[in-house]
């Protein structure tokens, strides 16, 4: 990750100053260390990291000479001024920098051959580049028992620490969890938590990337490889729709590490990752991974080759009068496009739907100027409507915290109790009353220069009248913009292709079923889907992991995971980004697009695409929202797509009411409740399960107690979950966590996610 802030040398506010005898320019107020880097002069640093906020000047490694300032000054905390004369190479400066390195290395252990940071270590690099070459220190070095488990994922080697405070500042000033601190003083200083408990949280893994010396290392990656026997590949995280830029570390055909990636303009995640994005890759090595194709014929189940499975899939689908194609919300643009081409050609009388397409009535809101995550930084007012970013789109939380620190007003509107309520004004609404709760927020949108609305797709889909209120308010302010946090990874890409919601299909005769990364029985309306699947024809499943659907399928074909194939996802801010393969995947698996092409051959009408590039080119030619995009020029950082397709821009429709007796049900995801957390060895210790949450007063009325097992019933189904009481929860509603593997909360929901009421009883 870069240590220096990006500097624009083309602007109009540049000032001239002298750097090592030559005249250079930089924007006024730029920190000297960044201005030097932008003009080709590296000043060694350790504590400085522009993403952490104002400079600290703790390590003193960046000492330089500035005419008019007595002695030497730290370049990280000195802003550029016109006619400043700076020297970074004088003998005095070199001697000072050498001296600092000598002191930092006094007790640093000589364990580079076994340190995971070796070969990627800023201290190592800067010692070779700027250090004295030998040390005058002859005293024995200090030693501590090692390593300490700072958390289940992070190891601490105390003797390597140089007290740069980067990890502490991240905890205190970026994630704002306040957990990490530097205890004691002087030579006895060490990193610890305030309470002595484990350093747990949503973003703790970022301190590993921040640490410049290998004091903090990843336990899942520890002693796994060395820099010279790995390959790094840029890609995109597919854990949620934020679309964080990642760098995949590959060794011997497997992903061994995921890190944040350099993002020059800091428009998406700013280099930070949530812990699921960092360690979720372990799910690919879990026992639930599909490694061999499966055929079921009558009562017989057997494994077969990939070629045999594709042939069998073509045979069983060709004999059906009609076919239903179900696409998961994380299929790539290319997989979805080829599936639609199959449905239009060789598949008999096919219809296509996807769980990733939600909110068809939200076109007017989507058509307004789309913001990127980085635009939150410059907003005067950020209104968060619905959702729970901390759990469902975690890195968005860091942007909101940063905006609040910069002076933006944060307003949260919705029915959920959530951690981000401490950031600003919280307008708690009753379920179904988002529009009413928006009154105050809309008044504020009209009075500020740069308002931005961050909105949750599922909540606005349930209350389209609130979407009308928002669209009107934003449309009246020319400087306003909106950022949609979609429920599925590639929901925006599927909409751009004109894919319909798969909930429209459940009440029909499905015929033969081709499911691509889809498992409708485990989603909203699962009971209805399972009945439809049981009464339909043969089921062909293309998936990367075992599921309820693969257990009932006629043909199961293993496909590559998002760490193993390439393609395009359209993530938050309508940003098209490219996945790149970082691992080979099981031998008897293949990318989804390739399996679909092979299937077209078996169905007798071979599709012409031979690569994701050619399929993407055809998709952009057929979908107006994708026009102008080029597979190669998407590069590492992607590009924004056009506004929503015209077919999606329509009236907002009527509000959808909560059906049934009892209390309104409000659902949401938990950051550590999804498949990655439950299947990844590095995350399973922090994985969370299903639960229901009630306000204590509501629980007393219902005669249920904390930690009880309770049964929730809705018109669509029932589930049994553990109850937790929370005084911050809204009265008059039940909150439940969905999305947990093997969970049953989804059975309470209708296939189209229409609002429901539930009755509550002791199990």
Q: What CATH number is attached to the domain comprising 732?
A: 2.40.40.20
Query: What is the Cα Rg of the chain in Å?
Result: 28
602 and 516 both lie in a single domain:
yes
Distance separating alpha carbons of residues 347 and 337, to the nearest angstrom? 14
Distance separating alpha carbons of residues 755 and 752, to the nearest angstrom? 9
Q: Report which of 532, 265, 494 is spatially closest to residue 373, judged by C-alpha positions.
A: 265
Mean pLDDT, the chain, as a whole number? 93
SS3 call for 438: helix
SS3 call for 416: coil
Asked if 582 contacts 248 with a C-beta cutoff of 8 angstroms, the reply is yes
Distance separating alpha carbons of residues 711 and 717, to the nearest angstrom? 11
87 and 33 both lie in a single domain:
yes
Distance separating alpha carbons of residues 138 and 58, to the nearest angstrom? 25
Both tokens assigned to 493: 């890409």
Residue 656 domain-assigned (yes or no):
no
Low-confidence spans in the chain with pLDDT less than 70: 1-2, 264-265, 643-655
Residue 125 domain-assigned (yes or no):
no
Residue 9 domain-assigned (yes or no):
no
532 and 680 both lie in a single domain:
no
Q: Which residues of 640-676 are buried (b: 16+ CB within 10 A; e: fewer)?
A: ebbbbbeebeeebeebbebebebbbbbbbbbbbbbbb
Both tokens assigned to 677: 């957390």
Task: Return the CATH number at 56.
Answer: 3.10.20.740
Residue 658 domain-assigned (yes or no):
no
Distance separating alpha carbons of residues 685 and 168, to the nearest angstrom? 24
pLDDT of 654 reads 60
Domain end (from 593, 616, 648) = 648
Asked if 589 contacts 560 with a C-beta cutoff of 8 angstroms, the reply is yes
Q: Report which of 700, 717, 757 is spatially closest to residue 733, judged by C-alpha positions.
A: 757
The CA-to-CA distance between both ends of the chain, in Å, stands at: 51
Both tokens assigned to 294: 């499966």
Both tokens assigned to 181: 């601190």
Task: Return the CATH number at 631.
Answer: 3.40.50.740
Asked if 145 contacts 24 with a C-beta cutoff of 8 angstroms, the reply is no
Residue 674 domain-assigned (yes or no):
yes
Q: Which residue has the tokens 């498949």?
A: 675
Distance separating alpha carbons of residues 294 and 588, to the nearest angstrom? 11
Distance separating alpha carbons of residues 683 and 191, to the nearest angstrom? 23
Residue 65 domain-assigned (yes or no):
yes
How many Cα neighbours within 13 Å face the side chain of 432? 15
Residue 5 domain-assigned (yes or no):
no
pLDDT of 705 reads 96
Residue 123 domain-assigned (yes or no):
no
> How do residues 18-29 score in pLDDT, each as one tens digit?
999 999 999 999
For residue 385, give its domain range.
369-480
449 and 414 both lie in a single domain:
yes
pLDDT of 655 reads 62
Domain end (from 77, 104, 131) = 104
Number of domains in the chain: 5
152 and 255 both lie in a single domain:
yes
281 and 298 both lie in a single domain:
no
């Amino acid at each position: 990750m870069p240590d220096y802030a990006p500097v624009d040398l083309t602007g109009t506010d540049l000032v001239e100053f002298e750097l090592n005898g030559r005249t250079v320019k930089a924007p006024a107020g730029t920190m000297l260390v960044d201005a030097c880097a932008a003009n080709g002069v590296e000043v060694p640093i350790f504590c400085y990291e522009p993403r952490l906020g104002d400079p600290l000047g703790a390590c003193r490694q960046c000492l330089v000479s500035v005419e008019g300032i007595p002695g030497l000054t730290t370049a990280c905390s000195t802003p550029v001024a016109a006619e400043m004369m700076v020297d970074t190479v004088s003998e005095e400066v070199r001697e000072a920098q050498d001296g600092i390195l000598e002191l930092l290395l006094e007790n640093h252990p000589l364990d580079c051959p076994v340190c995971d940071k070796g070969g990627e270590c800023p201290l190592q690099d800067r010692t070779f580049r700027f250090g004295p070459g030998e040390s005058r220190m002859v005293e024995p070095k200090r030693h501590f028992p090692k390593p300490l488990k700072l958390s289940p994922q992070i190891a601490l080697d105390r003797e390597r620490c140089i007290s740069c405070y980067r990890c502490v500042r991240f905890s205190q000033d970026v994630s704002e969890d306040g957990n990490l601190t530097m205890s004691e003083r002087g030579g006895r200083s060490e990193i610890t938590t305030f309470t002595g408990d484990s350093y747990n949280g949503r973003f703790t893994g970022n301190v590993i990337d921040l640490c410049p010396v290998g004091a903090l290392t990843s336990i899942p990656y520890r002693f796994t490889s060395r820099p010279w026997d790995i390959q790094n590949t840029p890609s995109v995280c597919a854990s949620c729709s934020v679309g964080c830029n990642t760098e995949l570390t590959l060794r011997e055909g497997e992903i061994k590490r995921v890190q944040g990636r350099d993002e020059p303009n800091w428009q998406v995640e700013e280099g930070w990752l949530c812990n699921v994005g960092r360690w979720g890759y372990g799910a690919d090595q879990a026992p639930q991974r599909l490694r061999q194709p499966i055929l079921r014929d009558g009562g017989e189940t057997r494994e077969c080759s990939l070629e045999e499975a594709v042939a069998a899939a073509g045979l069983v689908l060709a004999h059906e009068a009609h076919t239903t194609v179900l696409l998961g919300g994380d299929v790539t643009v290319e997989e979805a496009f080829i599936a639609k081409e199959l449905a239009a050609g060789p598949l008999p009388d096919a219809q296509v739907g996807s769980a990733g397409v939600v909110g068809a009535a939200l076109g007017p809101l989507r058509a307004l100027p789309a913001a990127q995550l980085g635009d939150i930084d410059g907003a005067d007012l950020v209104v968060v409507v619905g959702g729970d970013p901390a759990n469902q789109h975690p890195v968005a939380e860091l942007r909101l915290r940063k905006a609040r620190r910069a002076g933006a007003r944060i307003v949260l509107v919705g029915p959920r109790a959530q951690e981000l309520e401490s950031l600003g004004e919280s307008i708690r609404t009753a379920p179904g009353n988002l529009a009413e709760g928006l009154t105050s927020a809309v008044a504020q949108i009209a009075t500020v220069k740069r308002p931005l609305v961050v909105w949750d797709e599922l909540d606005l889909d349930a209350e389209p009248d609130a979407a009308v209120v928002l669209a009107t308010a934003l449309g009246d302010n020319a400087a306003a913009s909106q950022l949609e946090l979609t429920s599925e990874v590639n929901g925006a890409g599927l909409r751009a292709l004109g894919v319909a919601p798969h909930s429209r299909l459940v009440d029909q005769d499905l015929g033969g079923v081709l499911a691509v990364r889809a498992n409708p029985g485990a989603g909203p309306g699962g009971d209805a889907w399972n009945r439809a699947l049981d009464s339909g024809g043969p089921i062909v499943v293309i998936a990367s992991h075992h599921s309820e659907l693969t257990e009932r399928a006629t043909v199961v074909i293993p496909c590559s995971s998002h760490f193993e194939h390439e393609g395009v996802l359209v993530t938050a801010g309508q940003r098209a980004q490219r996945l790149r393969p970082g691992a080979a995947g099981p031998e008897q698996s293949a990318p989804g697009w390739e399996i679909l092409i092979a299937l077209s051959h078996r169905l007798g009408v071979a599709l012409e695409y031979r690569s994701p590039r050619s399929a993407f080119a055809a998709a952009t030619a057929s979908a107006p929202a994708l026009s102008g995009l080029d597979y190669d020029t998407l590069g590492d950082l992607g590009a924004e797509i056009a506004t929503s397709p015209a077919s999606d821009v329509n009236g907002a429709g009527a509000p959808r009411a909560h059906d049934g007796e009892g209390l309104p049900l409000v659902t949401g995801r938990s950051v550590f409740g999804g498949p990655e957390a439950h299947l990844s060895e590095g995350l399973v210790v922090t994985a969370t399960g299903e639960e229901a949450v009630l306000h204590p007063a509501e629980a007393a009325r219902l005669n249920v107690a904390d930690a009880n097992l309770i049964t929730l019933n809705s018109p669509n189904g029932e589930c049994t979950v553990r109850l937790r009481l929370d005084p911050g929860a809204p009265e008059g509603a039940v909150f439940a966590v969905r999305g947990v593997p093997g969970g049953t909360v989804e059975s309470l929901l209708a296939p189209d996610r229409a609002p429901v009421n539930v009755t509550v009883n002791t199990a």
